[in-house]
């Protein structure tokens, strides 16, 4: 994997770069739509390519392992063939999902025993197993197996969890290096920085992980309920330590404001379910602010969805029509809103890249954030 930094902002840590994978080029900063089960909810792959213009999407190791199962993905020739999506893909290791199953899992040094949320069957994931499953899924970028600590958690718990994540990383790295890609293209392993909301632990984790030579680095365990300011402070600590010549991925973040603030701190890659989840509930993001399309004020508004929007739906459907669909619980309403929101997130990243290259990123960021936080 090649990562070329095209432009560094002089007033912040923001930068514009390009990641080259065997499935194509990724311009950074980039937002990755979340396709947990091999589908970005409510959106066709054609729409991802032609309307939303996504450059990479994310899938989930834990969920794909349980359903449809690894055998059919292998039989298809890997995840790209199974879902018919030929651009880059990333899978997380399943660590976050195991974290979310706190009532149904047991963590030991060997790995994690957990119960399926589907039928209660018992499964075991070790660092080696997480690598094997991700090899079989076949995403371009795969993640080391980690333990994601909850918020809040005690210092001692965060420390012990971080140290185990570091030990698991060695096992992931060794197993990754001792196995080969299955489908004829290269895969790249990213480690994950942990440490909760404790600056000294985040510093220690970043230093430990930066000592290993990886093609990129992820920051996990944030956006789990902590205040936004804590997220920014932890991100600031970590990006100040991680290698500048490698891409940094902030997992599970976030709102449009979160993205812009973290770009200024040196983050290159983001993913989050927010644009599609909120879309299904009628919340639209625009460059002028947020729209709750269910509000009565949009009932008779026949203006197009978003005159500044970059997708087909923005120019071809009215606010009144989308409100009708959402209120009526029509599936098309969720689809239209999802395409709009994902298109907005991708366009926001494009605008960020442009303003970094123009040398006015901070001024633009501070101005646009005020608009983004308005309720229209």
Domain of 132: which CATH number?
Answer: 3.20.20.105
Across 301-312, average pLDDT: 97
Of 92-96, 187-191, 262-266, 281-285, the one with minimum mean pLDDT is 92-96
pLDDT of residue 117: 82
pLDDT of residue 309: 96
Q: Is 239 found in the same domain as 327?
A: no
Token pair, residue 42, equals: 């409510």
- Note whether residue 264 is domain-resident: yes
pLDDT of residue 63: 92
The whole-angstrom separation of Cα 15 and Cα 112 is 37
Q: Is 267 found in the same domain as 277?
A: no
Active-site residue, selected from the candidate residues 9, 271, 306, 314:
271
pLDDT of residue 67: 95
Q: Is 300 found in the same domain as 312?
A: yes
Q: Is it the case that residue 113 has pLDDT exceeding 80?
A: yes
Candidates 253, 275, 244, 334; CA nearest to 4 is: 244
Q: Is 171 found in the same domain as 62?
A: yes
Q: Is it the case that residue 138 has pLDDT exceeding 90?
A: yes
Residue 372 pLDDT grade (very low, low, confident, very high; cuts 50, 70, 90): very high
Which residues have CB under 8 Å from 178's CB, separation 6+? none
Query: Which residue segment(s) compose the domain that 358 sits in?
Result: 273-376
Q: What is the pLDDT of residues 198-239, one digit of tens each?
A: 999 999 999 999 999 999 999 998 988 899 999 999 999 999
Across 314-322, average pLDDT: 98
Q: Is 110 a catalytic residue?
A: no
pLDDT of residue 100: 66
Q: Is 289 found in the same domain as 178?
A: no
- Note whether residue 291 is domain-resident: yes
DSSP, res 303: S
Active-site residue, selected from the candidate residues 51, 92, 268, 306:
92
- Are 96 and 251 contacting, i.e. CB atoms less than 8 angstroms apart? yes
Q: Is 48 found in the same domain as 115?
A: yes
State how many domains the chain has.
2
The whole-angstrom separation of Cα 133 and Cα 144 is 12
Across 338-348, average pLDDT: 98
Q: Is 349 found in the same domain as 219?
A: no
Q: Is 179 found in the same domain as 48?
A: yes
Which residues have CB under 8 Å from 324's CB, separation 6+? 330, 333
Q: Is 230 a catalytic residue?
A: no
Choosing from 252, 271, 290, the residue where a domain stops is 271
Choosing from 208, 242, 271, the residue where a domain stops is 271
**Residue whose token pair is 């290993």:** 212
Of 63-72, 143-152, 310-319, the one with minimum mean pLDDT is 143-152
- Note whether residue 16 is domain-resident: no
pLDDT of residue 61: 94
Q: Is it the case that residue 102 has pLDDT exceeding 80?
A: no
Cα→Cα distances 82→39, 75, 137, 180, 357, Å: 11, 9, 10, 20, 37
Across 28-50, average pLDDT: 97
Q: What is the pLDDT of residues 321-339, one digit of tens each?
A: 999 999 999 999 999 999 9
Q: Is 326 found in the same domain as 223?
A: no
Q: Is it the case that residue 101 has pLDDT exceeding 80?
A: no
Q: Is 168 found in the same domain as 111?
A: yes
Token pair, residue 269, equals: 């890659």
pLDDT of residue 121: 87
Residue 51 pLDDT grade (very low, low, confident, very high; cuts 50, 70, 90): very high
The whole-angstrom separation of Cα 48 and Cα 343 is 9
pLDDT of residue 98: 67
- Note whether residue 373 is domain-resident: yes
Choosing from 228, 246, 271, the residue where a domain stops is 271
The rounded mean pLDDT for the chain is 95
pLDDT of residue 223: 86
The whole-angstrom separation of Cα 361 and Cα 260 is 9
Across 166-189, average pLDDT: 98
**CB neighbours of residue 294 within 10 Å:** 14
Across 153-163, average pLDDT: 95
């Amino acid at each position: 994997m090649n990562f070329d930094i095209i432009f560094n902002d002089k007033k912040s840590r923001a930068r514009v770069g390009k990641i080259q994978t065997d499935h194509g080029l990724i311009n950074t900063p980039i937002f990755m739509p979340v396709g947990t089960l091999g589908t970005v909810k409510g959106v066709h792959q054609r729409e991802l390519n032609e309307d939303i213009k996504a450059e990479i999407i994310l899938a989930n190791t834990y969920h794909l392992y349980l359903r449809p199962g690894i055998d059919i993905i292998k039989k298809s020739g890997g995840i790209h063939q199974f879902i018919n999506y030929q651009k880059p893909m990333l899978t997380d290791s399943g660590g976050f999902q195991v974290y979310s199953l706190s009532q149904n899992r047991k963590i030991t040094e060997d790995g994690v025993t957990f119960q399926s949320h589907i039928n209660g069957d018992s499964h075991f994931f070790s660092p080696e197993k997480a690598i094997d499953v991700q090899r079989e899924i076949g995403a371009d970028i795969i993640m080391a197996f980690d333990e994601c600590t909850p918020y809040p958690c005690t210092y001692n718990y965060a420390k012990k969890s971080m140290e185990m994540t570091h030990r698991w990383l060695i096992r992931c790295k060794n197993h990754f290096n001792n196995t080969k890609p299955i489908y004829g293209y290269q895969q790249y392993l990213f480690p994950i920085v942990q440490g909760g909301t404790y600056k000294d632990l985040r510093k220690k984790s970043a230093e430990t992980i930066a000592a290993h030579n990886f093609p990129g680095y992820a920051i996990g365990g944030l956006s789990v309920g902590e205040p936004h300011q804590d997220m920014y402070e932890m991100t600031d600590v970590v990006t100040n330590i991680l290698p500048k010549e490698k891409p940094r991925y902030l997992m599970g973040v976030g709102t449009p404001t979160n993205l812009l603030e973290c770009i200024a701190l040196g983050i290159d890659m983001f993913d989050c379910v927010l644009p599609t989840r909120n879309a299904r509930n009628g919340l639209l993001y625009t460059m002028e602010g947020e729209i709750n399309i269910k509000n009565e004020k949009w009932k008779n508004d026949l203006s197009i969805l978003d005159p500044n929007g970059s997708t087909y739906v923005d120019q071809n459907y009215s606010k009144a029509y989308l409100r009708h669909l959402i209120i009526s619980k029509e599936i098309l309403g969720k689809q239209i809103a999802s395409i709009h929101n994902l298109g907005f997130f991708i366009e926001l990243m494009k605008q960020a890249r442009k303003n970094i290259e123009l040398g006015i990123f901070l001024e633009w960021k501070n101005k646009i954030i005020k608009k983004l936080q308005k309720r229209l």
